[in-house]
Amino acid sequence: MQMKLFLDSAILGEIEFAYKTGLCDGITMNPSLVKKAVDSMKEKGEKAGLKDYIKKALRIAEGTPVSLEVTELDTKGMVEQGKKIFKEFNPVANNIYIKIPVNPSFPNEDGKEFDGVMAIKQLRKANIPVNCTLIFTPEQALAAAARQAHVADDVFQDHDGVIDDDADRQRKPQKRERIQGKSHEIENQE
What residues are annotated to the active site?
99
Strand pairing category for 151-154 and 182-185: antiparallel
State the first-to-last Cα distance of the chain, in angstroms, to the nearest integer. 17
pLDDT at 159: 39
pLDDT on residue 37:
93
The Cα 66–Cα 144 span in angstroms is 18
User: Is there a contact between 98 and 123 (Cβ–Cβ < 8 Å)?
Assistant: yes
Q: What is the DSSP letter of 163?
A: S
What global pTM score does this model have?
Answer: 0.76
Tens-level pLDDT at each residue, the chain (190 residues): 677 888 989 999 999 999 999 989 999 998 999 999 999 999 999 988 999 999 999 999 999 999 999 999 899 999 999 999 999 999 999 999 999 988 776 666 677 778 888 999 999 999 999 988 877 777 777 777 766 666 666 554 433 434 333 333 333 333 222 233 444 444 443 3
Cα–Cα dist 72/117, whole Å = 14
Among residues 126, 86, 85, 120, the alpha carbon closest in space to that of 100 is found at 120
In 25-135, DSSP assigns E strands to 26-29, 66-69, 96-101, 130-135
27: Cβ–Cβ under 8 A, 6 or more apart, which residues?
6, 7, 8, 9, 15, 57, 61, 64, 65, 66, 67
What residue ranges define each of the domains in the chain, with the CATH number in brackets?
6-185 (3.20.20.70)
